[in-house]
Structure 1
Amino acid sequence: MTRTDSTPGPREDTLELTQEWDKVFPRSTQVDHAKVTFHNRFGTTLAADLYRPQGAGGPLPALAVSGPFGAVKEQSSGLYAQAMAERGFLAVAFDPSFTGESGGAPRYMASPDINIEDFQAAVDYLSVREDVDPERLGVIGVCGWGGMALAAAAADPRIKATVVSTMYDLSRVAANGYFDSSDSAEARNQMRASVAAQRTADYRSGTYAMAGGVVDPLPDDAPDFAKDYYAYYKTPRGYHPRSLNSNDGWTVIGGSSLMNATLLGYIEEIENAVMILHGDAAHSYYMGKDAFARLQGDNKEMVTVPGASHTDLYDGGGKEAIPWERIAEFLTANLG
């Protein structure tokens, strides 16, 4: 049968993937690594790093991992995936649509619908692998992808366990500002007017203006969380050439639809297990606590890491802030 654009069914684009190890963390000798691709229901081909325990027989419990928002799989999500593979899980760390090595155009756009779908597409992929037990699937979301992970768990009961680390509720921040400091119709309407003007300018010019990544150079009066972002994304600790946050960031209008979304609208209805992991020194801690307060059931767990900042939970912050064994025990208990 000759395929046409109107033929229903999946189709994957061919992506050029870097095969050499180019992560910001060391490669584990306990884990096998491979590049893989899969597609979402919008037809975008996603690129992922697959981490599998060496010598493990299947079928295995499996995890889909992504985040932070504006990062790539060679950064924090890859570290989480590899660490979980060291503890017996098959894990894929993927680049979201329009970013990193994944497909999708125009580049550096975000969409709450498409990005939640990216998580579900990873679950689709894992569920049909012969070395994966489709009844033992979970997700891990870091930073802004923590909120996406909760939204995916609310939408998809195949996700039996969810771990969100140092989470952002991106729709809340987009609509209300940090600490809800701009939670007013006036402030939102000003933002809408700014986005609308930028859309007109972009369409006229035929290009998309870039918002810029993490501020560089860092001003002396920058808040502590901005300094933390700089220390991760702009130094050898976490810099990666494909990372939006390390370089030119999203397009100015890239995340504008988040403002009209409600990512966590139905998290009270998540029946499967959820762990919310947060540092009590993180500027984002209030978002994790507020999300946890809404969860229902006795299979929900809040883990607070004393003294940990937001980015300490990206990679441990040089002080082993990430409780790997606690995460693995939670996943093992709830994935069987």
Structure 2
Amino acid sequence: MSQLANDTRVFKINPKIDVQNVRFENRYGFILAGHLYLPENFENGKKYAAIAISGPFGAVKEQSSGLYAQTLAERGFVTLAFDQSMTGESSGDRRNVASPDIFVEDFSAAVDFLGSQKFVDREKIGALGICGLGSHVLTAASIDVRIKAVATSVMYDMAESMWDGLNHSKTEAQRNKEKEYLAQIRWEEVDKGAQVGGYHELPFDENGNPVRSNKLLPEELPEGADPVTTEFFNYYVKRAYHPRSINSAHIWDATSPWGYYNFPLQQRIEKITQPKLIVTGAKAHSRYMAEEAYERLTDPKELVEVPNATHTDLYDQMDKIPFDKFEEFFKEKLK
């Protein structure tokens, strides 16, 4: 562990909360980069409840997950915000590749790390996934019973959105074209000997052909941009820009949908026996994904829909993120 140097977090820092740079390994050999937050008035010799936190999909620990980690540390938890494998400061020779299996494993590796700390009670470890990492954390909890309580915030099913499109909008013809596109991308990478960047949720032009790009979001928002693009732009490019964030400054490896097509997330979430808290925004474009997951979950479970909150409101708007509910849930379920 070490103290943060060259602190690049994009939210308001609480100087009373000790945060440390940490590194830990997952079972595939990737070295994950994390920020470990210790509660105010931390006591040596005391055993604390702990929460592993990651997301949104394509973000870094200096963005939303760090804000969640700091706020829950203010409320008495040891928290760990971390970058997924191959993203941010985590290792991986190939960069910005998304993988359902590896990203799910990253949560279990975070549990490994937290449980190895002498000040963490292994029987009181929870996990929280934001946005697309919400679907990964539920998948992790379906097998990793060391996660004693699991929560999501504006949960987004990445496998479903890649395969079926937002609001189930993708056609079979588009899926077939995407398969051809992914095959072409792989040949390009073979021939170039280098990665090719591209969208993880593939858009199509007016002629029905896949759209290419080397950056996820533009530097300037085009006139007439749709509400979802506008919302993500205002968070990642404007108020929470970070140079290591895929969503702020880069784009995913174009082959990223490959794994999600073959190995969809949340296949066995009905089997999660641990307590579950699903939080979403009443105005979030992802709301239906959270509701669909909630319907599949078994008791004990709770759904909270925040009035007048959009998807990215629950990334960083302190007057809308229901931290009282998260605190109540984890304190009750990890006691």
The TM-score, its normalising length taken from structure 1, stands at 0.91
Q: Which of 17, 23, 31 is 1:37 aligned to?
A: 23
Match of 1:330 in 2: 329
Matched, 1:215 2:205: no
Q: Contact between 2:2 and 2:22, CA under 8 Å: does it hold in 1?
A: no
User: Structure 1 residue 195: deviation in Å?
Assistant: 0.5
Matched, 1:227 2:230: yes
Matched, 1:191 2:192: no
Matched, 1:53 2:34: no
Match of 1:11 in 2: none
CA separation in 2, counterparts of 1:85 and 1:54?
A: 7
Match of 2:309 in 1: 308
User: Structure 1 residue 315: deviation in Å?
Assistant: 0.3
Q: Contact between 2:17 and 2:40, CA under 8 Å: does it hold in 1?
A: yes
Shift in alpha-carbon separation, 1:256–1:18, aligned structure 2, 3 A: farther
1:28-69 CA distances to partner (integer Å, 9 max, x unpaired)?
A: 133111101100000111110000013223210001110000
CA separation in 2, counterparts of 1:210 and 1:93?
A: 26
1:84-114 CA distances to partner (integer Å, 9 max, x unpaired)?
A: 1000000010011001111112111111111
Match of 1:99 in 2: 87
CA separation in 2, counterparts of 1:44 and 1:210?
A: 21
Match of 1:5 in 2: none
Q: Contact between 2:55 and 2:133, CA under 8 Å: does it hold in 1?
A: yes
CA separation in 2, counterparts of 1:18 and 1:53?
A: 16
Q: How does 1:279-290 map to 2 (within 5 A)?
A: 279-290=281-292
CA separation in 1, counterparts of 2:69 and 2:36?
A: 8
1:269-316 CA distances to partner (integer Å, 9 max, x unpaired)?
A: 10001111000111111000000011101x211000011111000001
Letter in 2 for 1:101: E
Match of 2:13 in 1: 27
Q: How does 1:259-278 map to 2 (within 5 A)?
A: 259-278=261-280
Q: How does 1:53-72 map to 2 (within 5 A)?
A: 53-57=39-43, 58-72=46-60
Structure 1 unaligned spans of 5+: 1-14
Q: Contact between 1:17 and 1:101, CA under 8 Å: does it hold in 2?
A: no
Q: Contact between 1:67 and 1:141, CA under 8 Å: does it hold in 2?
A: yes
CA separation in 2, counterparts of 1:21 and 1:76?
A: 15
Q: Contact between 1:175 and 1:183, CA under 8 Å: does it hold in 2?
A: no
The TM-score, its normalising length taken from structure 2, stands at 0.91
CA separation in 1, counterparts of 2:149 and 2:177?
A: 39
CA separation in 1, counterparts of 2:217 and 2:330?
A: 33
Residue 148 of structure 2 aligns to a residue whose secondary structure is: strand
Identity of aligned residues (%): 42
Q: Contact between 1:79 and 1:315, CA under 8 Å: does it hold in 2?
A: yes
